[in-house]
Every structure is written in C-alpha cells, then in structure tokens.
Amino acid sequence: MKVKQDWWKDFFSKTYLITDARSVCDPKLTRKEVNLLEKTLKLSKDNKILDLCGGQGRHSLELAKKGYKDITVLDYSKYLIELGKRTTKKAGLKIKFLRSDARSTGLKKENFCAIFIMANSFGYFSQDKENFKVLKESYRLLRKKGKLLLDITDPLQAKKHLLPFSWHRATSDIIVCRRRRLRGDIIKAQELVISRKKGLIKNGLYCERLYPQDKITNLLKKAGFANIKTRNNLSLHENKSNYGLMATRMIVTALKP
C-alpha cells in the first residue's frame, strides 16, 4: 500500500464530510470536545486562539458561540475553509479563516495564547521530521506561557484494537469501506466510498503516524515546550461503534516557557 507523502492535500473534500460525519459533523460530540478544550486549557474569552488544522472550524464555531472573540482557523483544504467562512457568516459570528500549511503558516510569531490541533489532525506525515515542523511552528506562534493541546490517537489502544478491515453505512446511499495496515508506528489505510446509485466514488489512500507517550513528550521537549502532560484512553463517542482512529484519544498539553 503506497501512500503519497502529500495525500492530505486533496483528501479533505466534500466526500470527507460524509465518510467521517459520525465524528466531524456531530454537534453533540463537538460540544463535548470544546468543553474538554476549555477545561484542559483553562481558556478565557479574550484569549487569542489558533485552531490549527481546524478544517471547517467546527470547534471554533462552538467557541465563538460561547463568546470567544479572537479565533483563527488554519487548514490546507480550500473546500473546508470556504465552508467554514460560509457557515460563520450565516451564524453571524466572527472567525478568521486562513488556508496555509501547518508547518509554515506565515503568521506572526508569538501571537497566540493557545493553539489546539483536534480530532487526530496531527501525525499526517509518515516522517517524524515533518510532524516535528508542526510542533516547532506552534512553538513559534505561541506567546510566552502560551499553551498547546494535541488531540491524537491513543497508540496503545489503536494497535490493540486495529481492525484490518471495516465498513459502515454513512448514508442511505453511501457505504464506506476501509482496509488498514500497521507497520511500526505508521498506519496506512485505503478508503473506498461506494454509492448504491453511482458505484465507486472514491478510492483514497492515507496514513497516520502514531505517537506513544514517551515519543510525543520527547518531540515536544525538543521543540522547546515544557510542563508536558498526557491523558490516555479517552473515549468521547457515546456508543461503542467502530470509529477507527477517532475511537480512543490521547490528550497532550504543553506550555511555552
């Protein structure tokens, strides 16, 4: 299974919101994740916040509804960024949306009080050095005493419960089938999206690098962070269906000294 290094550049389209709707289009789950964010980072309404790799900004929209005033969402997907802009405008809220690469955002240094990367959006690069660039950029963007939160797959649980093959019905018309292979700390997957009416509408390949607690701690320290804390084996979905890499999370927080 050969996955392109830049698979993420065109993977997160309109179809993604169908295949992953159980996680990324569930308002109740999003509210639970935002409550976790607030409690863990101890956010205040006037904090300058960066939602890094934030997709359509579902977490930021919820924060804005709660009264947070200065939020920026950054993602590479043009489709998701444009969707976030439209949704924000329709809701009468104010959120900045920016399309850029998380490794080199082009944003002003030491500009944010808090940065979060939610929903397993860290680890898209098979090479450690590329994922490390995301951490270094986060460190550059944070003010002193600023906080970073990573919401990533719990590697121990993922390896223990990884299904080589799974499928679920996304809609009355769409079935999603996934085939997975684990090699070391890298999961490679093939995703087939099949319409009962139109046949095969997507055959995509993606990968995720898993980060055990000691390895992510060392990477964060190398990037300059301190006061690193982890919380393992966290499940936020209400039922026990197979949610793939989103099933069991590890929450990692770090401080810029």
pLDDT at residue 243 in the model? 65
pLDDT tens per residue, range 119-142: 999 999 999 999 999 999 999 999
**Domain ranges for the chain:** 19-154+211-255
Q: What pLDDT, on the 0 to 100 scale, is given for residue 235?
A: 83
Residue 194: helix, strand or coil by DSSP? strand
Structure tokens at 49: 């916040």
Query: pLDDT value at position 51?
Result: 98
Q: What is the pLDDT of residue 239?
A: 65
Give the model's pLDDT for residue 131. 98
Tokens of residue 239, six digits: 């039922």
Q: Do the beta carbons of residue 136 and residue 254 sit within 8 Å?
A: no
User: CB-hemisphere CA count at 13 Å for 37?
Assistant: 30
Instruction: Give the per-residue pLDDT at 247.
Output: 76
Terminal Cα distance for the chain, rounded: 42
Which parts of the chain register pLDDT below 70?
Answer: 238-244
Residues 6+ apart with CB under 8 A from 129: none
Q: Is the pTM higher than 0.75?
A: yes
Are 59 and 37 spatial neighbours (Cβ–Cβ below 8 Å)? yes
DSSP, residue by residue, 203-244: EEEEEEE---HHHHHHHHHHHT-EEEEEEEEE--SSS----G
Name the fold adopted by 19-154+211-255.
Rossmann fold (3.40.50)
- Residue 124 is classified by DSSP as -
